[in-house]
Amino acid sequence: MSMSAARPAEDEQPVQAYDVVVVGAGFAGMYMLHRLRGLGLSARVFEQGSGVGGTWYWNRYPGARCDIESMQYSYSFSDDLQQEWDWSERYAPQPEILAYANHVADRFDLRSDIQFDTRVERAEFDERANTWKVATSDGKAVTAKFVVLATGCLSNARMPDIEGLDRFKGKVYHTGEWPHEPIDFSGQRVAVIGTGSSAIQAVPVIAEQAKRLTVFQRTANFSVPAQNGPLSAERRDWFRKNYPDVRRFAREVSRNGIYTTQPDRSALDDGDNERRARYESGWQHGGVVFMAVYNDVLLNKAANDTAADFVRGKIAEIVKDPAKAKLLQPDSHPIGTKRICVDTGYFATFNLPNVELVDIRDNPIEAITENAVRVAGKDYEADALVLATGFDAMTGSVAKIDIVGRERQTLNGKWAEGPRTYLGLMTAGFPNLFIITGPGSPSVLSNMIVSIEQHVDWIADCLVHMRDKGLATIEATKQAEDKWVEHVNEVAHNTLYPQANSWYMGANIPGKPRIFMPYIGGVPVYRQKCDEVAANGYEGFAMAAAAQRQTAAAS
Ligand code: NA7
């Protein structure tokens, strides 16, 4: 018999078996892999991009940068790493964050267990074997005892349903899927659709290059200045020296996982002058922490109005043309209920002679023609179109995977009325399937890296517990999940957040159920709850050894 005849056909190749399959090699997937290796578990990471970095791999639009200070938007798990990496600016630009992700991949030798350019298409739980069968876009399949979805919250770019988009003859770019080569808009007429965080960062940079820039605004957005600049050696050294306290504070004290002053008073406790002075100082300090000048801005509409009025006043001061200023002043949602944007010169950009603002709130874009965006019968000609139209947030990337749990239930079927999880970590009926920063956890309302590290550590500890006890499966009970979903909703509805048509609510995707997805209770409360659950023998989760029947999960 010849050697070739002895080789089994492709579909007969033994299926590679891993302890854990991780989906995604962004900041969550990379750290998960690092922890799994440390535990001596075999792991395979599948990543659809050609490199690590997740969000920071895809979002390469001009002006893209973090809205949390770099010294805090960074891993804390390795002191050597946090002591050795040099950030150049207070808020790192995207290329630097991507360089950091690559540095981490190299430093911890992660690449050998990451398969790039490969999408996970399907994951199906085999109830007899207690394993997941994971099928990938290269036509192969592997098995794993556990699957960890590290798919990211803002990773599924949303193309708008605008008639004629495919007819446009010029270049079309989505901010969340930006090309890898630099794009130079010099001499071009550029149309930007959308005025969320991405557009607010991109518009000032594009305006510097473009011959003409037209911004199509459906909803005016609140934005505060980043007050970005070079990171001083003193500030960097201060952080390095104080990292143990800074990180502990971010995990255990700060609601949003950011080391910053915690507000101790209501906006209504101060008179006009004192309040204005405090907002002014928050504005001068810069960044998302503007929302934490007072402790009730997101709880009380009257308090919220004081912050919103302050920012509207700033817009009126910055934008010279009063009609433009009025259009740019948000009036349809309380400040902060859509994620507060952080900018460098956004509002001032509208003072430039080459920049036009088109209000599409009452007159939506009618169509895109071969060379223009048409609004109210008028054609705004453009050579390039920038779609800053956001993401199918939090659930979009999970939904793209065909996930089949117990009794052949699909996750998309189960979540048809909105995502349901226990602690954002697991969903009933899908054993051994973990989600990092999933819906029902603080995730996008927090410093993502703090929340990622917390989830990864919790999952790693859980896997050790299962190994030590000889357990084969863990799954959320329906009862615990129902209670948690109710709690998440209750907390959300005690705030002003549900008043906005935001991506937190799924409101940016036609037909997506309106459910407030992240958990508002705050990072410390949430962490404590997760720790208590683990300390109480993984309360609310059903765990079983291989031979046991899984009945608890159905109770
Ligand atoms: P966002 O915040 O979802 O913003 C998307 C923007 O695009 C927003 O202004 C939308 O208006 C607008 N949009 C979406 N679809 C359309 C259509 N069809 N026509 C006109 N305008 C449209 O996404 P970003 O990428 O800016 O930011 C996402 C997060 O990334 C951000 O919060 C940070 O956490 C980082 P709308 O407000 O829906 O009226």
485-499 pLDDT, tens digit each: 999 999 999 999 999
- Which atom of ligand 1 is nearest the CA belonging to 197? 26
CA separation for the pair 530, 426 (Å, rounded):
12
Single-letter residue type at 453: E
- Other residues' Cβ atoms within 10 Å of the Cβ of residue 245: 10
Whether 279 shows a pLDDT value over 80: the answer reads yes
Residue among 197, 201, 328 to mutate when testing ligand 1 (max atoms within 8 A of CB) = 197
- Whether residues 380 and 398 share a domain: the answer is no
Q: Would strands 378-381 and 171-174 be described as parallel, antiparallel, or unpaired? A: unpaired
Q: Is the CB of 214 under 6 A from ligand 1?
A: no
Q: Is the CB of 174 under 6 A from ligand 1?
A: no
Whether 328 shows a pLDDT value over 60: the answer reads yes
Distance 240 CA to ligand 1 centre (A): 36
Paired with 386 in beta bridges are 173, 192
Whether 8 shows a pLDDT value over 50: the answer reads no
Place of tokens 């059903």: 542
Indicate whether 241 belongs to any domain.
yes
Identity of the highest mean pLDDT range in 10-19, 147-156, 542-551: 147-156
The mean pLDDT of 243-271, rounded to a whole number, is 96
- Whether residues 366 and 399 share a domain: the answer is no
Query: What sign does the dihedral 253-256-258-259 (CA atoms) show?
Result: negative
Helices 27-38, 94-107: inter-axial angle, 10-degree rounding: 10
Rg (CA), the chain: 24
pLDDT at 555: 39
Q: Is the CB of 160 under 6 A from ligand 1?
A: yes
Q: What are 460's two structure tokens?
A: 């790693």
- Whether residues 254 and 375 share a domain: the answer is yes
435, 427 in Cβ contact below 8 A? yes
pLDDT at 546: 83
- Whether residues 269 and 370 share a domain: the answer is yes
Q: Is the CB of 228 under 6 A from ligand 1?
A: no
- Whether residues 399 and 324 share a domain: the answer is no
Percent of residues, the chain, with pLDDT higher than 90: 93
The mean pLDDT of 545-553, rounded to a whole number, is 60
Q: Is the CB of 390 under 6 A from ligand 1?
A: yes
Closest Cα to atom 3 of ligand 1: 390
The mean pLDDT of 38-43, rounded to a whole number, is 98
Mean pLDDT across the chain, nearest whole number? 95
- Whether residues 208 and 150 share a domain: the answer is no
- Other residues' Cβ atoms within 10 Å of the Cβ of residue 402: 14
Domain boundary among 367, 387, 407: 387
Whether 5 shows a pLDDT value over 50: the answer reads no
CA separation for the pair 443, 18 (Å, rounded):
28
For residue 82, count CB atoms less than 10 angstroms from its CB and return exposed for 0-12, middle for 13-18, buried for 19 or more.
middle
Domain boundary among 360, 387, 414: 387
Whether 553 shows a pLDDT value over 50: the answer reads no
Indicate whether 414 belongs to any domain.
yes
470: left (phi over 0), alpha (psi -120 to 50) or beta: left
Q: Is the CB of 219 under 6 A from ligand 1?
A: yes
382, 371 in Cβ contact below 8 A? yes
pLDDT at 13: 65
Tens-digit pLDDT profile for residues 343-372: 999 999 999 999 999 999 999 999 999 999
119, 398 in Cβ contact below 8 A? no
CA separation for the pair 59, 386 (Å, rounded):
13
- Which atom of ligand 1 is nearest the CA belonging to 365? 19
Q: Is the CB of 389 under 6 A from ligand 1?
A: yes
Distance 153 CA to ligand 1 centre (A): 14
Q: Is the CB of 385 under 6 A from ligand 1?
A: no
Distance 197 CA to ligand 1 centre (A): 7
Paired with 380 in beta bridges are 373
Residue among 389, 505, 512 to mutate when testing ligand 1 (max atoms within 8 A of CB) = 389
- Whether residues 375 and 402 share a domain: the answer is no
Indicate whether 101 belongs to any domain.
yes
The mean pLDDT of 434-447, rounded to a whole number, is 96
Tens-digit pLDDT profile for residues 441-476: 999 999 999 999 999 999 999 999 999 999 999 999
Distance 502 CA to ligand 1 centre (A): 9
The mean pLDDT of 315-337, rounded to a whole number, is 98
- Which atom of ligand 1 is nearest the CA belonging to 360? 20
Indicate whether 170 belongs to any domain.
no
- Whether residues 256 and 290 share a domain: the answer is yes
Q: Is the CB of 454 under 6 A from ligand 1?
A: no
Whether 311 shows a pLDDT value over 70: the answer reads yes
Q: Is the CB of 196 under 6 A from ligand 1?
A: yes
CA separation for the pair 447, 256 (Å, rounded):
6
pLDDT at 14: 75
Distance 503 CA to ligand 1 centre (A): 8
The mean pLDDT of 278-286, rounded to a whole number, is 97
Indicate whether 79 belongs to any domain.
yes
Q: Is the CB of 388 under 6 A from ligand 1?
A: yes
Q: Is the CB of 288 under 6 A from ligand 1?
A: no
For residues 166 and 11, the model is more confident at 166
Q: How far is CA 134 from CA 37, 44, 474, in A?
A: 20, 11, 18
pLDDT at 552: 46
Residue among 175, 358, 508 to mutate when testing ligand 1 (max atoms within 8 A of CB) = 508
144, 357 in Cβ contact below 8 A? no
Closest Cα to atom 12 of ligand 1: 194
Q: Is the CB of 65 under 6 A from ligand 1?
A: no
Q: What are 338's two structure tokens?
A: 């859509």
Whether 554 shows a pLDDT value over 70: the answer reads no
- Whether residues 381 and 400 share a domain: the answer is no
CA separation for the pair 479, 555 (Å, rounded):
7
For residue 468, count CB atoms less than 10 angstroms from its CB and return exposed for 0-12, middle for 13-18, buried for 19 or more.
exposed
Tell me which residue range forms the domain holding 364: 189-387
Whether 9 shows a pLDDT value over 70: the answer reads no
Distance 548 CA to ligand 1 centre (A): 48
Domain boundary among 387, 402, 436: 387
